[in-house]
Amino acid sequence: MIMAKLIIFSAPSGAGKSTLIRYLLSQELNIRFSISATSRKPRGEEKDGIEYYFLTPEEFRRRIANNEFLEYEEVYKDKFYGTLKREVDRILAEGINVVFDVDCIGGLNIKKVYGNRALTVFVMPPSVEALRKRLEKRATDAPAVIENRLAKAEYEMSFAPQFDVIIHNDDYDQAKAEVLKLVTDFIDN
C-alpha cells in the first residue's frame, strides 16, 4: 500500500503560499488542505472550518493543555496558530496526501515528526519590497499588521536553507508549473 504524504509550504506572509496551494488543490491530485487552528480573527471572507478553525485564545490554550496539537506557534504576538493531530491523522488515514500552510518553525517541526514522508517547500518572494506591494494590493490587513508581517519577513527568509526545496515566486506561471511538477513527483515516488 502506498503511504499518503505530507507537503509543507512555508514563506513570509505575502510570498504567495496560499495562492500556490489553492492552485495545487484545483488540480487532479490526491491532496487535501490541513485546516489549522488559530486564535486570530477571520479576515475578509474567511469561514470557520474552511481556511481555519477559529478558536478563542482560551479554547486554544485548553487544546494545548490537552496535547491536541502536532505543533503550534505564537506566530505573531498573542496570535496562536497550530496543526491539530486529529486533522492530519484523519486525512492520512483516508490515504489522501496532506498540504500544509504553516510558518517556518512549524513546518520544520512537522518534518521532524514525519521525516522522508514529508516534503518542506519554502516559497521565496523576489524581495521584501515586493512583499509589501503584494500585501498592500491584497488589502486584507491593516497597515500596522502589514508592518508587523514585513518586520518578520527577513527572519523567516533566514530559514530557507533548511527546507528541502525553495520555489522562487517571481513569475507566477513559472512558480505554478514548478510546484505542480515537484508535488506530482514527490507523491508518485
- Site of interaction with ligand ADP (CB under 6 A): 11, 13-19, 134, 137-138, 169, 172, 175
Q: Is residue 169 helix, strand or coil? A: coil
Q: Which of 7, 13, 134, 135 binds ligand 5GP (CB under 6 A)?
A: 13
Q: Decide: 34 and 98 in contact? Cβ < 8 Å.
A: yes
Torsion of CA 113, 179, 183, 181, to 10 degrees: -150
**Closest CB 65 distance from ligand ADP, rounded Å:** 29
Nearest to 167 by CA among 117, 128, 124, 105: 124
Q: Is residue 20 helix, strand or coil? A: helix
**Closest CB 116 distance from ligand ADP, rounded Å:** 25
Cβ nearer to ligand ADP, comparing 30 with 174: 174
Q: Decide: 97 and 7 in contact? Cβ < 8 Å.
A: yes
Cβ nearer to ligand ADP, comparing 77 with 137: 137
Q: Tell me which amino acid residue 60 is.
A: F
Q: Is 36 in the site for ligand 5GP (CB under 6 A)?
A: yes
**Closest CB 138 distance from ligand ADP, rounded Å:** 4
Question: In whole angstroms, what is the distance from residue 99 CA to residue 22 CA?
Answer: 10
Strands 118-124 and 6-10: parallel
**Closest CB 131 distance from ligand 5GP, rounded Å:** 12
Q: Which of 82, 98, 122, 131 binds ligand 5GP (CB under 6 A)?
A: 82
Q: For residue 85, give every residue at least 6 positions away whose Cβ sits within 8 Å of its Cβ, in sequence order, or none.
A: 68, 69, 70
Cβ nearer to ligand 5GP, comparing 109 with 168: 109
* 134 contact choice in ligand 5GP, ligand ADP, none (CB below 5 to 8 Å, kind-dependent): ligand ADP
Interface contacts to ligand 5GP, rule CB under 6 A: 13, 36, 40, 71, 73, 75, 81-83, 101-103, 106
